[in-house]
């Protein structure tokens, strides 16, 4: 079976990060191997939470993985809280020949998230340049490049060696788009716009794109499928609190069936 390392936090409530990525990768018939960067009672959007930072364990954990002599097919990274975690992950990536997907979590709506210093953003940029696929929103794309035109920004990253730049959350009168930029081609996929942000949707998106890429699908098909899946789940979710995430569990089987059908 193919093996995918998932580097992200583990939150007890919020159905995000590893809690979203593990089931998605598993249902696609790929082994999910989590490397937790932190453990939280619940994600940070709730009024209160407790967090155990696991940064100090990461070098030892990666060292143990090294002893297991595993070749990973894929590596997916998400949220980082400090540059040491990224340094560790860079060493791991350099030791593998895997498809690397980086979700460069840094901000949204034109603002950086709390705690994202110039230094941390710079390190995330360094990591992104090792990726085959990156999945920034427009804010993150601008932070990565210093360029405020989406197409120009994406093209500048492709010139620096990133194979596919996937830009999420592009709003356009009642629709929301995910654009894929590659060297010789670009395309945007629209779905219905639903106001506000829902916990875990970005993590589900990057995990679906990673899983499909590992199943041999091109990034255009992977992004179209991920966007349509999340849009469908959102429309069919009963949401009391956006922090709780969306009802993806009810439709996960559909992702598994999709893989089997088109094998
Ligand atoms: O993907 C959302 C997410 C993941 N992990 C943590 C978070 C959030 C959103 O706020 O706080 C710890």
Q: pLDDT tens digit string along 24-52? A: 999 999 999 999 999 999 999 999 999 99
Contact 207, 135 (CB under 8 A): no
Write down the pLDDT at residue 195.
Answer: 82
pLDDT at 263 > cutoff 90: no
List the end-to-end C-alpha distance of the chain, in Å, as a whole number.
15
pLDDT of 114 higher than 90: no
pLDDT recorded at residue 152 = 98
Backbone angles phi, psi at 14, to 5 degrees: 125, -10
- Residue 43 alpha carbon to ligand 1 centre in Å: 5
pTM: 0.97
Tell the residue nearest (CA) to atom 1 of ligand 1. 200
What is the mean pLDDT of the segment spanning 150-172? 97
Among residues of the chain, what percentage have pLDDT more than 70?
Answer: 100
pLDDT on residue 194: 86
Q: Determine the distance separating the centroid of ligand 1 and the alpha carbon of 236, expressed in angstroms.
A: 22
Distance CA 138, CA 157 (A): 13
Pocket, ligand 1, Cβ cutoff 6 A: 9, 11, 16-17, 40, 43-45, 79, 199-200, 202-203
């Amino acid at each position: 079976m193919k093996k995918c390392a998932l580097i992200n936090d583990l939150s007890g409530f919020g159905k995000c990060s590893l809690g979203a990525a593990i089931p998605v990768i598993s249902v696609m018939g790929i082994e999910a191997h989590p490397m937790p960067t932190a453990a939280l009672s619940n994600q940070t959007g709730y009024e209160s939470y407790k967090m155990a930072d696991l940064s100090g364990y990461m070098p030892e954990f990666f060292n143990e993985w090294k002893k297991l002599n595993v070749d990973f097919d894929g590596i997916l990274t998400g949220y980082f809280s400090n540059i040491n975690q990224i340094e560790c992950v860079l060493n791991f990536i350099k030791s593998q020949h895997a498809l690397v997907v980086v979700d460069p979590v840094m901000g949204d709506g034109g603002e950086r998230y709390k705690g994202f210093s110039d230094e941390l953003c710079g390190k995330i940029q360094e990591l992104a340049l090792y990726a085959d696929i990156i999945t920034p929103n427009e804010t993150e794309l601008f932070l990565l490049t210093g360029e405020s035109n989406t197409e120009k920004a994406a093209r500048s990253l492709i010139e620096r060696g990133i194979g596919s730049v996937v830009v999420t959350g592009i709003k356009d009168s009642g629709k929301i788009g995910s654009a894929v930029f590659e060297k010789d081609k670009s395309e945007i996929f629209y779905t219905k716009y639903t106001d506000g942000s829902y916990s875990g949707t970005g993590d589900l998106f990057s995990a679906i794109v990673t899983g499909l890429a590992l199943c041999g699908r091109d990034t255009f098909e992977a992004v179209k499928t991920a966007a349509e899946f999340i849009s469908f789940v959102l429309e069919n979710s009963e949401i009391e609190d956006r922090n709780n995430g969306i009802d993806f569990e009810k439709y996960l089987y559909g992702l598994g069936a999709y893989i089997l059908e088109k094998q």
